[in-house]
Amino acid sequence: MLLTRHQFIRSLGWTAAAVAGAAVYPTFIEPRRVAVRHIHLTPAGLSPALEGLTIAHLTDLHRSRYVSAAYLAACVDQANALTPDLFAFTGDYVTANHFGRLGSLILGAGTRLPEYATQVAACIGRARARHGVFACLGNHDHWFDAADMTQRLTAAGATVLRNAHTIVRINGVALPIAGVDDAWVGNADVRRACAGLTEPFVLVLMHQPALFGRWPLSGSHLILAGHTHGGQVCLPVRGPLYLDASMRKYSHGVFQRGDTLMYVNRGLGVIPPPVRFNCRPEIALVHLHCA
């Protein structure tokens, strides 16, 4: 049956609208539809004094031409409204590259990277938590300038942990917080980050979740990680589109090896192509409970 001219034009209009809608949603809507996820975990060895402790976990902010400072500031403010006990940021604060000028052009960085780094540090400086703000670095931070980013975050009020740890005392109990440097640039040293710790439970900040597959330490640890963006685009059956098989294993969610738990957050930002589908950006509020 042939369509009339009017029916044909109308069908073209609907087709164009569908195509436009399919492009608009993953490009302009879902990347800003931040989901707040409440993650309840029961790690081994957690002191009763830490029952109910909450950690706001934000990762992969990726300030660039595609991810605005205003959006990131709003995300931090949204996390502040959850009144967390701790803030944890796990890397990739800007979108940098190691592919030269063309890579900088595609990634929307180039000569504006120092400006973006200043802005994202200011966003992190907005974070408020009863017991402090803690951070580790990601691969993009190293491609930018790890020392520079560390200095900016420290000046903004965050404790930056690079293969190191600190102790926070909460309700009279010592809570060790360790930060592992990024694995992609060859600086990750889990043993050094946790050296000398004897407490029954350790909170670990780590950008790259693949390290979980060869976690070298015994005892109880809770690892907060990012890097994967959840795949950014998650298709039915196929799953995370942007990740290879090894990364899809730890794309998003809770994982366990013995007494060690890991939560992988989908992150707040994007890298090109700057779209998300079936994979909303995320603020995680981790609630700790005693066994």
Distance CA 69, CA 76 (A): 11
Residue 19: burial class (beta carbons within 10 Å; 0-12, 13-18, 19+): exposed
Residue 59, pLDDT score: 98
Q: Is 90 helix (H, G, I), strand (E, B) or coil?
A: strand
Element (H, E) at 240: strand 239-240
pLDDT on residue 77: 98
Please tell me the distance from the alpha carbon of residue 141 to that of residue 19, in angstroms, as a whole number.
36
Confidence at residue 2, expressed as pLDDT on a 0 to 100 scale = 46
* pLDDT in the model for residue 99: 55
Domain ranges of the chain: 35-288
**Please, what sign has the CA dihedral across residues 140, 252, 206, 132?**
positive
- 239-240 and 234-235 beta bridge pairing: antiparallel
Q: Report d(CA 237, CA 230) in Å as an integer.
A: 15
pLDDT of 111: 65
pTM above threshold 0.85: yes
Q: Which residues of the chain have pLDDT under 70?
A: 1-22, 98-111
CATH no. for 35-288 = 3.60.21.40
